[in-house]
Chain A
Amino acid sequence: MSTNGAYYIPHKAVWPVMATAGLMLMLAGFANYLNGSSIGSGMMLTGFVAFLVMLGLWFALQSTESESGMYNHGVGISYRMGMMWFIFSEVMFFAVFFGALWYARNISIPHLGEGGMISGPGRSTHDVLWPAFEAVWPTNGPGKVGGDFEPMGAFGLPFINTLLLLSSGVTCTWAHHGLLAKNRGQLIKGLLATVGLGFLFVAFQATEYYEAYHEMGLTLGSGIYGSTFFMLTGFHGFHVCVGAIILSVVLFRSWKGHFTPENHFAFEAAAWYWHFVDVVWLGLFIFVYIL
């Protein structure tokens, strides 16, 4: 359990504070952009690039240290705990948006359409403001915010995307088995397939969004249906991109000969993250697309 006898205490590094400065510049730039300031987008882009470069240099340092054998078993445990709890925090982040979807469908919509589970003073919203509104799903609300739209069906692109992500989970595990069996060819092929399937997923998702915006009238502004649909699938798509980039870095490192069956935290972390993204998609497919 305890490992502190030989724990590696890293030397100081400038990358964490520089990355923070980059992120802050990016967010301040984004805020300025939203406020309509002309310097906003430049600031945002500069900050974003700085953030990525600093993060990249930090990770490069970590991988050099790892490959030179500085990280012992105890350090590996700390990293794994860190990744595990980071993923838990991500679960909570997605839970908010799933919760908002649940709340809209089970509380606010029935409530606005009369009846429902809420009685009492709130009923007057229906009676006074929107007596004609009936509770149905999908909806863009009693104000028909965003105009007419067509909801996204489950068994076109989304179903293909489900199959893509599920198979990418399999190829990822296959790559892991290759790593453990010291079969580098299998490791690299497995990772290539995983990254490929990930980016294919993103491409299909982009196609789906394009159709939604241009043919179905479905936008982020299409009331609560559009809001929950695009925020949930959008944040998920963003996480797929991040996961695929992480896996690409792991692929690059595998190709350079990094990782051993005993020492491959980066691979494990990336795989965990990928499976997490996979599970979130299953939740999305059920609650956003099918139900």
Chain B
Amino acid sequence: MSAVVAEHDDHHDHHDHGPEKGFLRWIITTNHKDIGTMYLVFALIMFFVGGTMALIIRSELFEPGLQFVDPQFFNSMTTMHALVMVFGAVMPAFVGLANWMIPMMIGAPDMALPRMNNMSFWMLVAGVLLLASTLFMEGGAPAAGWTLYPPLVLQTGKAFPFAIFSVHLLGISSIMGAINVIATIFNMRAPGMTLMKMPLFVWTWLITAFLLIAIMPVFAGAVTMLLTDRFFDTSFFDAAGGGDPVLYQHIFWFFGHPEVYVMILPTFGVASTIIPVFARKPLFGYASMVYATGAIAFLSFIVWAHHMFTVGLPVAGELYFMYATMLIAIPTGVKVFNWTATMWKGSMTFETPMLFSIAFVVLFTMGGFTGLMMSVAPSDFQYHDTYFIVAHFHYTLVPASIFILMAAGYYWLPKWTGHMYNEKIGQLHFWLSAISVNILFFPQHFLGLAGMPRRIPDYAIQFADWNMVSSIGAFIYGFSQLLFVYIVIDTIRGGTGEKVTDEVWEDAAKHGLEWTVPSPAPYHTFTTPPAVIPTEHF
């Protein structure tokens, strides 16, 4: 800091020191590492909250008939499971990684707008608290599905306005986080860190941030119209007044389709960061990865009605949205080929982060292919609202986003804590997850193709066997995630006792600036910009 600051010592005496002692440190912190940690811990807790809801769903579906919960509560569980996982677990986890890693990857001292960073975390907590409070309200939590379609969602009980305002708070949180990411990346890069030298994780987050700023206000507008339709006599979604419930679906999916890419683009970024390190090769096709990410983001805005093929669109609309959707397979294919080519003839090793990343490439591709199947409008009339859809998007979220979040955890834990995690338990966690996730979701393809609808607590007898298999997989998957919690706590408390180097992974410093600072990373990094920028991916 310059002399200007020295005149105001009373305000900033802690600048070049470590964190403050005590609990208040976490509440009012503006440090990107503290905030990143809070996001990650919060996301992990929400992962188990949402996971518990998933296990309630799978318990009920273990056998045909109504066993444990009443149908209203079952529908609340499907709705809340989705909202908690999307807005409470996956998105915050990636924001946490962004907070921790982006400044370290571009050689910046912190995020560009640290106080707003603090506020966006607490807005997230406020939003999730409002959402969670609905579980205890008269009439139950929202039960109309995470898409909140009217007119069904307007029948929600006391929970309704709380759910709406929760969405507003989560939206504000995401927008502030995204603005921070953009300002950081554009304004805070170390000298020499040109845009096309940035690690792909930084690139994918930059593009994700643009998506967030464009779509979260749209969702906020949509739920605001729901609120006024319910409480202030407006007719946006009511045909008697000249409105249309289908309008809500258009607005929702204009938000919703880019939203699912908000969860997958940073996933791509982390995979592109990890795979080269363990293949000991530069990332294949760096520039094409950047352009593919941009192309996917652009396409995400012009394909939304493929979620609405059965709603009664004109044929021209069905055709347009079908072909536009198919185009997404091209940039996505570029990415899958690039990851494969990166591994091709590499001297690979299979530590836990790499195992999760390889599983991601294989299983995400499967989720992508089922997506391509559903993009065919005439076929989609068969798949729509069945378990085939459930299988599809869980393949793109669980063995993709969640697996990569686990990979990121294993990959960066030694840098965050200065300790090595237990590789044996890590590998056990991987194999249990990789096998059980397929037992859990693969049979759901069969169920869907055979006609089992989604969001029902009971089903016809012919679906019994595969539902039982799926539920068994769910419990194995769910409980094996506890191993991850054990590993995180164990690593923080010393792990294997092995002293990790700055680089942690062999030659990792060639791939990213974060491996040039000490492990654990000090409270403040890059207060002076780094002299050398890794250019390994060229």
Binding site for B on A (CB under 8 A): 1-17, 19-21, 23-24, 27-28, 30-31, 34-35, 58, 68-70, 72, 74, 77-79, 81-82, 85-86, 88-90, 92-93, 95-97, 99-100, 103-104, 107-109, 111-112, 117-122, 125, 129, 139-143, 145-146, 219-221, 223-228, 230-231
Contacts and interface: CB of A to CB of B under 8 A. Distances in A.
B5 interface: yes
B242 A104 contact: yes
Interface in B26-71: 27-30
Contact of B244 (A79, A96, A103, A117): A103
A122 B311 CA distance: 9
B30 A13 contact: yes
Contacts of A28: 130, 133, 162, 165
Q: Which 3 A-B pairs have the closest CB atoms?
A: A143-B240, A96-B221, A141-B242
A2 B189 contact: yes
Given A1-B189, A17-B28, 10 more contacts: A4-B188, A27-B169, A70-B8, A92-B218, A100-B225, A117-B314, A120-B314, A141-B242, A221-B235, A228-B236
Contact of B236 (A15, A95, A121, A227): A227
Contact of A231 (B162, B164, B225, B251): B225
A24 B130 contact: yes
A256 B239 CA distance: 55
B228 interface: yes
Contacts of B231: 34
Contact of A4 (B29, B189, B244, B247): B189
B222 interface: yes
A90 B220 CA distance: 11
Contacts of B21: none
Contacts of B214: 88-89, 92
8 contacts: A14-B28, A16-B119, A17-B122, A78-B188, A82-B112, A103-B244, A112-B242, A220-B234
B108 interface: yes
Q: Which secondary structure characterizes the binding site on chain B?
A: helix
B30 A12 contact: yes
B11 interface: yes
B168 interface: yes
Nearest to B137: A35
Given A9-B15, A142-B239, A122 B312 contact: yes
Interface in B122-161: 122-123, 126, 129-130, 133, 158, 161
A68 B3 CA distance: 12
B277 to A, nearest CB: 25
B312 A2 contact: no
B187 interface: yes
Given A27-B165, A227-B228, A108 B112 contact: no
Contact of B122 (A20, A78, A89, A139): A20
B265 to A, nearest CB: 18
B182 interface: yes
A74 B242 contact: no
Contacts of B221: 93, 95-97
Given A4-B529, A30-B165, A16 B122 contact: yes
Interface in B147-204: 158, 161-162, 164-165, 168-169, 175, 178-180, 182-184, 186-191, 193
